[in-house]
Amino acid sequence: MMRSSFWFAKIDFGRSKLVQLEKVKTETELEIHERYKTVLEIMVAFLVSLVTVLLFMPSAIRTLRNKGSTGIDVHKPEKPEIPKGGGFVFLFALVFGLLVVLGLTTFLNPVIDSAGILAALVSILMAGMIGLLDDNLDFQNRTKVVLPLISTIPMMVMSVGTPTMTIPLIGTVNFGVAYALIIVPLMMTFMIDTTNMYGGMNGLEAGLGAINASGVVLYIVLAQWVTGESLPQQQMEAAIVAAALLGATLGFLVFNKYPAKVLPGDVGRLPLGSAIAAAVIIGNMDRLAIMMYIPFGINFLLYIIYRIYVKRKRMEWVKFATPREDGTLEVVGPFTVYWVLPYFFRNITEKRNVSILLLLQAILVYGSVVVFLFLVPFGTGWF
């Protein structure tokens, strides 16, 4: 009888072990499935935005030119007139890419919460509307700086992001409700304004946007492989927003790179800043955001110094560099990041200047991704 009980106990133990193994196998398969599904959604957002710009921009350029909506390309000796306001195609592509992913999520996987993407979508649209108004009404500088604050309201009311932030030299801080009501609007407004300020040369805004967006996508996608864990919901939403932005910026760069066939206008620059800000806030990537926006912050400080310098010296305000006959740029001083190289080096053309600035941004962003992924312990916070 004891022998029989022993064998029954052994059989039960074997069955329970088999059930546990099957459970682990099922959970692993589900994790792998979710991981590949996330990558698929990221690819859809990227491809839809990219293809939309490539399809609609040529006809938009012709229409803008025929309607007389052109601007002077000031950094070229011949001062050509090219269509301006092409950023509305960029805006449409970015929004359309996000809407397609939202549709797929709603109908194919309704369990997933897309509140972060929806908040980002509305903020991007509002930033685009503000940019369109600015392009047509030409607001004063003070108004331009404050207006983007309105576009942050959707991110505030949806309380997107996590109130816990990792601040260099300080550590982890929980801001509570102040995060949504103060940190988010100030952070987004700063990123939108500085994105708008750090531009004005062929391919600069789109190139910087593409590098920043690709850095966000790369970090999030690689993070799940490094940690061996599935992406948290917020990081997945952030990757989708950044992927749509990456596709739209790369598509726009085809037409905006030197020599540009179209200029973006504020209708393109403001949504660009809004999208990257929304992505890093949704994904709680405060440290990566700080690193990638160091040049933008420096550019802002140089701008303030320039304003003070002009006022004290009672000089005339000069907004653009002056092209020489050989295409090199002459500037009044190193008062913006994109004026530093032309000021210290005589052989800097617009194309060379933009190429160097994009290279430096790429080193900064991708270097930060490597550091935060492989050198900074994950125990200090996700991002």
Length of the chain as a residue count: 383
Residue with the larger pLDDT of the pair 164 and 331: 331
Determine which of 10-14, 33-37, 63-67, 235-239 has the lowest per-residue pLDDT on average: 10-14
Q: What is the pLDDT of residues 58-108, one digit of tens each?
A: 999 999 999 999 999 999 999 999 999 999 999 999 999 999 999 988 777
Identify whether the C-beta of residue 279 lies closer than 8 Å to the C-beta of residue 241. Answer: yes
Residue % of the chain over a pLDDT of 90? 66
Identify whether the C-beta of residue 165 lies closer than 8 Å to the C-beta of residue 184. Answer: no
Give the residue extent of every domain in the chain.
32-287
- For the chain, give the mean pLDDT: 87
Buried b (16+ CB within 10 A) or exposed e, 265-296: bbbbbbbbbbbbbbbbbbbbbbbbbbbbbebb
383 — pLDDT class (breaks 50, 70, 90): very low
pLDDT at 375 over 90: no
Residue with the larger pLDDT of the pair 37 and 299: 299
pLDDT reported for residue 374: 85
Residue 292, CB-side half-sphere exposure with 13 Å CA sphere: 29
pLDDT reported for residue 170: 73
- Cα 130 to its chain centre, rounded Å, is 18
Return d(Cα 276, Cα 82) in angstroms, integer. Answer: 27
Which residues are within 8 A (CB) of 127 and not within 5 positions of it... i.e. 6 or more apart?
148, 151, 192, 270, 271, 273, 274
Identify whether the C-beta of residue 51 lies closer than 8 Å to the C-beta of residue 220. Answer: no
Q: Which residues pair with 81 in a beta bridge?
A: 72
Residue 9, CB-side half-sphere exposure with 13 Å CA sphere: 6
DSSP structure class, residue 305: H
Phi, psi of 62 (to 5 degrees): -65, -45
Average pLDDT over every residue of 298-321? 91
